[in-house]
Amino acid sequence: MHTLKRTDFTPDGIFGTFTFEGETNPSFVTLEHAYVNETDGTYQPKLPAGQYKCVLGKHELHSGPVTTFEVMDVPGHSGILCCHVGNYNDDSEGCVLVGIERVGNMINNSKLAFHLFMDKIGEVTEYDLEVVNP
């Protein structure tokens, strides 16, 4: 099972790391859009912590079509992708963005990271993902 481990919940986004199954060190940094929780004022992502199946498919983004993985059965949401290209909080409406490193309120080299992610994930059409909060 691959792991998305969140590290920071900020107004600039939910930051974390992505580690492939069987590895101990993260391969990528991640960023998800931060939404204000009306109850307590904290920042939360759309994707709750838990275990999910991610399925490969073609998706339409603002930047155009992309083939990537959708996180299935997200409570109250659909179309949450893991992952796609983007560097800032506003580049996502709930999907997981992937980058090489975090620099302040952004992640960088997202296009490169996305291509490296897709190469590393290989020819699979689905994978299991565990999302972990601190």
Q: pLDDT digits over 25-67, tens only?
A: 999 999 999 999 999 999 999 999 999 999 999 998 887 899 9
Domain ranges of the chain: 2-132
If you average pLDDT over residues 124-132, what whole number do you get?
98
Quote the pLDDT of residue 99: 98
SS3 50: strand
pTM here is 0.95
Alpha helices (runs of H) in 6-121, residue ranges in sequence order: 110-121
Q: Is the pLDDT of residue 121 over 90?
A: yes
Q: Is the pLDDT of residue 77 over 90?
A: yes
Reported as type and span, the H/E element at residue 49 is none
Quote the pLDDT of residue 64: 83
Rg, C-alpha atoms of the chain: 14
**What one-character DSSP code corresponds to residue 95?**
P
Quote the pLDDT of residue 62: 81
Counting residues of the chain whose pLDDT is more than 90, the rounded percentage is: 96
Reported as type and span, the H/E element at residue 42 is none
Alpha-carbon distance 97 to 50, whole Å? 18
**What one-character DSSP code corresponds to residue 72?**
P
Upper half-sphere CA count for residue 102 (Cβ side, 13 Å): 19
Residue type, 81: L
The length of the chain in residues reads 134
SS3 47: coil
